[in-house]
Amino acid sequence: MKITLKVWRQKNGKEKGALATYQLDDISPDMSFLEMFDVLNEQLSRKGEEPIAFDHDCREGICGACSMYVNGKPHGPKQTTTCQLHMRSFKDGDTIVVEPWRAQAFPVVKDLVVDRSAFDRIISSGGYVSVNTGGVPDANEIPIPKKIADEAFDAATCIGCGACVAACKNASAMLFVSAKVSQLAMLPQGKVESKTRAERMVAQMDEEGFGACTNTGACSIECPKGISLENIARLNREYFGAKAKSDNL
């Protein structure tokens, strides 16, 4: 396949970026999108030009590292991660535009690499069950109905890639936050802290500069793991419940 790529190049967070155009002539439809990038980077390196920096690691669709807009959509035309997007999803002769995540809370580091550490800070603000190592009860002592365990699992599948933020016109992190809040609020182990967790995580989300949720649903449509909007409803219930009791953290 012949492909024309227009890729966002930006030396670092301070300098301005611009789209650069590259021609690729010999792309196999079996390549993943990132392997196509590898081929381009090898070509650039051979010419002594700097390869394009992009985040990627497991290439199995699970680590959540790869992050880029492909033709204006997070991770490209399919509802999956960029590493699991294959060139057979494109046509011979296509022009493809690639840009980094756009969100104030995700500043550009270089080329397609953005800083998503805001997500880690949100998790650190309460996205856990407060339990020390050892001395916990036997795992079967607290039965959990299969339906609940499955629903908690559906929420837990979030890989923290940030596509939800990138897809949202307000750059809201509600889907990400709600996935963690719901998972832990549904399980007996996480219930005890569910109110303070919701309050603290939402407060941190606001502090990081993510926008408000207006229930547009783009986040869920673009989420490679199909995290559902129900989680946002659940987060809202938890949050308003917490505020009604007014711990006001």
Strand 73-74 relative to strand 18-24: parallel, antiparallel, unpaired? unpaired
Q: Which of residues 101-130 bind another protein (CB under 8 A)?
A: 109-110, 113, 115-117, 119-120, 123-130
Report how far apart the first and last C-alpha atoms of the chain are (Å, whole number): 56
Q: Is 197 in the site for another protein (CB under 8 A)?
A: no
The answer to the question of residue 21 lying near another protein (CB under 8 A) is no
> Please, what is the minimum distance in Å from the beta carbon of residue 52 to another protein?
9
Of the two residues 35 and 94, which places its CB atom closer to another protein in the complex? 35
CB of 214 to another protein, least distance (A): 27
**Angle, CA of 60, 111 and 22, to the nearest 5°:** 90
Distance CA 120, CA 16 (A): 27
Q: Using CB under 8 A, which residues numbered 130 to 189 contact another protein?
A: 130-134, 136-140, 142-146, 149-150, 152-153, 156-157, 159-160, 183-184, 187, 189
**Which parts of 55-84 interact with another protein (CB under 8 A)?**
55-65, 80, 84
CB 130 within 8 A of CB 193: yes
Residue whose C-alpha is closest to residue 103's, from 167, 194, 188, 176: 167
Residues 220, 175 contacting (CB under 8 angstroms): yes
- Minimum distance from residue 234 beta carbon to another protein (Å): 15
Site for another protein contains 190 (CB under 8 A) = yes
Query: What is the number of other CB atoms lying within 10 angstroms of the CB of residue 226?
Result: 11
Q: How far is the CB of 88 from another protein (least distance, A)?
A: 6
